[in-house]
Structure formats: structure tokens, C-alpha cells
């Protein structure tokens, strides 16, 4: 995957790196090879990672049970997965904001 740097307009191939903050926060990021600007792609913590795991399990169940679940049960599960996706997104946005905010 290619990216163009906002700062120096250099086009480069993205090489994802990760580093940890504190005990359980993992930041996934890449760096412009020319000006070294850091781009945070996404950030996870223990809570996000366990939610992601739950979503994977639920989604798998959903696919496997789709054929014989009642429409009401199926809809309930779809809603649940959807809710969890939103929760993960919100949690990741908050983590990213916390990590990327300028130090005072
Ligand atoms: Zn750059």
C-alpha cells in the first residue's frame, strides 16, 4: 500500500510498525522515510482486543447459523455485532486521540 506524506508530499510504501504505550496499549503506525512524520493508523488496548475477539466469534457464529436461525434471532445477533463494531471504533478513536494529542 502506498501513501503520500501530508508534510513533504513524498510518495512511499507503507511499512507498518507497532509500539506499546504503558502496559497494554499498542499503537500501529508508519513513518514517512523522508521527513520522518509519524502516522498513527490505529491503536488498541486490552479492552479493544477482547472486543475484537468477541466480534470475530460472533460473526463466525452468525455465518454458521444464518441458514437455520429464526429471522428475529438472526437480527438480534446482527445488531449485537453491529453495536460491538461501533463500540470498538469509538474506543479506538479515543485511544488514538489520547496518544496523538500534543504533549503539554
Ligand atoms: Zn514526509
Query: Which range of residues forms the domain containing residue 9?
Result: 2-100
Domains in the chain, number? 1
pLDDT at position 104, please?
A: 67
Report percent pLDDT > 70 for the chain.
98
Residue ranges with CB less than 5 Å from ion ligand 1: 5, 7-8, 10, 32, 34-35, 37
- The alpha carbon of 8 and the centre of ligand 1 are apart by a number of angstroms equal to 4
**41-81 pLDDT tens trace:** 999 999 999 999 999 999 998 888 877 778 888 888 899 99
- The alpha carbon of 76 and the centre of ligand 1 are apart by a number of angstroms equal to 46
User: DSSP assignment of 59-93, as one string?
Assistant: HHHHHHHTTTS-HHHHHHHHHHHHHHHHHHHHHHH
- The alpha carbon of 28 and the centre of ligand 1 are apart by a number of angstroms equal to 18
- The alpha carbon of 2 and the centre of ligand 1 are apart by a number of angstroms equal to 13
Amino acid at each position: 500500500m502506498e501513501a503520500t506524506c501530508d508534510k513533504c508530499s513524498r510518495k512511499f510504501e507503507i511499512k507498518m510498525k507497532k509500539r506499546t504505550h504503558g502496559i497494554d496499549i499498542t499503537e500501529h503506525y508508519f513513518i514517512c522515510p523522508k521527513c520522518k512524520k509519524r502516522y498513527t493508523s490505529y491503536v488498541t488496548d486490552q479492552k479493544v482486543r477482547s472486543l475484537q475477539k468477541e466480534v470475530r466469534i460472533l460473526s463466525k457464529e452468525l455465518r454458521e447459523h444464518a441458514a437455520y436461525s429464526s429471522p428475529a434471532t438472526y437480527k438480534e445477533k446482527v445488531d449485537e455485532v453491529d453495536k460491538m463494531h461501533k463500540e470498538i471504533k469509538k474506543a479506538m478513536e479515543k485511544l488514538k486521540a489520547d496518544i496523538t494529542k500534543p504533549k503539554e
